[in-house]
Amino acid sequence: MAYWNWDPSYNIGIEEIDNQHKKIVQYINELHEAFVLNDKNIVKNTLFNITEYVISHFSFEEKLMEEAEYPQFMHHKSIHENFVSSIGKYKIAFNEGRDITGQLMAELQIWLTQHILIEDRAYKESVQKMLNSKNTVKKSDKHTWFKKIFN
């Protein structure tokens, strides 16, 4: 059984963002599996993957907020930066041989839920408006545009 199941109440209503959040939940579940198996190598790989993914997800969100001229952009960005530095501390602790997996999973879960429900939901309107204005282009082009902004 998964450690954490996605709940539809976490959806903010922007499909690409929701999919990325789901992927983070999936990584947290992988971290839990590694924790249960007590496999340090899988923990290490998952820690690496989750950090990379979270950073790219944050930069994706930031590009959207910036493009949308979201007034709280800088504040939201600083929340992301603090979180990334907090994950970095866990990575250092792990590399020093400390068993941080349980604590990290709990922190990720609490942090992500709060962040999605409060801060991410707050930018939804601005970003959605900006995306709708881009929607005058064809749907297939929108996909390309998403890809372009993500890479």
Q: Binding residues for Fe ion, per CB under 5 A?
A: 61, 120
Whole-number minimum distance, CB 61 to Fe ion, in Å? 5
Task: Specify the residue, 54 or 104, whose C-beta has the smaller distance to Fe ion.
Answer: 54
CB of 33 to Fe ion, least distance (A): 26
> Is residue 50 within 8 Å of 33, Cβ to Cβ?
no
Closer Cβ to Fe ion, 14 or 43, answer by number: 14
CB of 87 to Fe ion, least distance (A): 14
Q: Minimal CA–CA distance to 11: which of 138, 126, 118, 117?
A: 117
Nearer CB in complex with Fe ion: 30/120: 120
Rg (CA), the chain: 16
Nearer to Fe ion, 11 or 45 (CB): 11
Least Å distance, CB 62 to Fe ion, is 8
Where residue 95 falls (left for φ over 0; alpha for ψ -120 to 50; beta otherwise) is alpha
What whole-number distance in Å separates Cα of residue 1 and Cα of residue 64? 34
- Cβ-count burial of 121 within 10 angstroms (0-12 exposed, 13-18 middle, 19+ buried)? middle
